[in-house]
Chains A and B, each alone.
Chain A
Amino acid sequence: MSVYILPVLLIVLIIICIIKKVKVYDCFLDGTRDSLGLIKSIFPYVAAVFVCIELFKASGLSSTISGWLAKPLSYLGIPSEITEIILLVPLSGNGTIALLESIINDCGVDSYPARCAAVIAGATETIFYISAVYFSACKVRKLRYAIPVALFCTLLGTVVACALCRIM
């Protein structure tokens, strides 16, 4: 059913455009023009985040830190197999999906760690990417408590997710 939602909304929108005598073609041209402008302004931010992610993974820093974190996180009920995914989730969406697939391969798709990893991958967002891109149109660089709060809430969601996977 849900596959119909977007196309139907678009059809309704175009019909409203025709009724209100809005020029659909001009709107499309304006939109595409804006898209290139937007891309131009967010590219440096995306590139910076991606360079960071590549270096973070290639230098072995991510596996080292997840090694340190495995013990404390296990007290919160988070299985040690998925500490690296928790570390990668705020950084990169593609990286998270790749890790999820390797965890499914290693532990079996219906095992406890694999289900936890699936919930985490589905429930979280790439915090660093979003905070870099959202401020690309203004000069704001000092984000104060934004990142710590976002990270803490994601961790809270993760703990809840692992607890729920035990029951459900």
Chain B
Amino acid sequence: MKIKFDMNVAFTALTLISIVLLTIASPATAFPTMLQGVMNAITLIVKLAAIYAVWLSVLKMMQATELDKKLSKLLRPLIKRLFKNESDEAYNWISVNLAGNMLGMGGVATPAGIKAMHAMASEEQTVASANMILLLIINATSIQLIPATVIAIRAAAGSADASSIFLPTLISTSVSTLSGVILCKVFALTDKKQNKGDDKNRGLHIQNSMLNQRLRGFNTRSRKARKR
């Protein structure tokens, strides 16, 4: 079972079909629509710049006080079981990402997730590894503990019991996350059986990231030595 999904194919197909339809229906709106899309993206990006500025500072403080390492030690048993054979840096970022997700702090989960992906990928890797896909799926189906926005909307619309959706929401998101993790593991297993040649690359990648880590450790050590 092999499913290929390339962002290039998806983007091209969706845009082409939409533009063709728009040109038939109302050709004057094709370009304004695309501009509107980028405009929305810029509005969001400005908001995100503010959110990340605050949260990345918090992350820096956590790194400086080595709280991120303690957090990752706490979550290590779970994470090591889910994500096998990754570098310590990747484990740290994954644990920050998962903790941020569970506490409903999207502002800290996203940057940590991006850094975790970066730590798991080698320089020239273009195909996602099983661990990268697993992290993506956990985030894409993330468990939402308190759906605050939706409850607020329902209360504003005059619902008799606005928070009655709390339990169904919790069960529904747990079902999607759990099934996601299981399916990921199944796909990873069938993948492994199909192409054992990939394993060699994978081993090389692990060696690489371990080497990088040792280098990084060496750098910080020498920096400390210089300070003294």
Contact B121 A161 (CB under 8 A): no
Contact B57 A31 (CB under 8 A): yes
Question: In the assembled complex, which residues on chain A have CB atoms less than 8 Å from the CB atom of B57?
Answer: 27-28, 30-32
Contact A134 B117 (CB under 8 A): yes
Does residue B210 face the partner (Cβ distance < 8 Å to A)? no
- Name the interface size band of chain A: 35 or more
Question: In the assembled complex, which residues on chain A have CB atoms less than 8 Å from the CB atom of B2?
Answer: 144
- Centre residue among A16, A105, A150 by max chain B CB count within 10 A: A150
Query: How far is it, in angstroms, between the C-alpha of A54 and the C-alpha of B177 when the chains are bound?
Result: 28
Enumerate B19-70 residues with CB–CB distance to A below 8 Å: 19, 21-22, 25, 29, 33-34, 36-38, 40-42, 44-45, 48-49, 52-62, 64-65, 67
Which secondary structure dominates where chain B touches chain A? Answer: helix
**B101 nearest in chain A by CB position:** A125
Known: A17-B65, A28-B57, A150-B180. 6 other contacts (CB 8 A): A20-B64, A55-B19, A134-B110, A144-B128, A145-B187, A146-B140
* Chain A residues at the B interface, C-beta cutoff of 8 Å: 2, 5-6, 10, 13-14, 16-17, 20, 22-24, 27-28, 30-32, 34-36, 38-39, 42-43, 46-56, 58-61, 94, 97, 100-101, 104-105, 109-110, 115, 118-125, 127, 130-150, 152-154, 156-158, 160-161, 164-165, 168
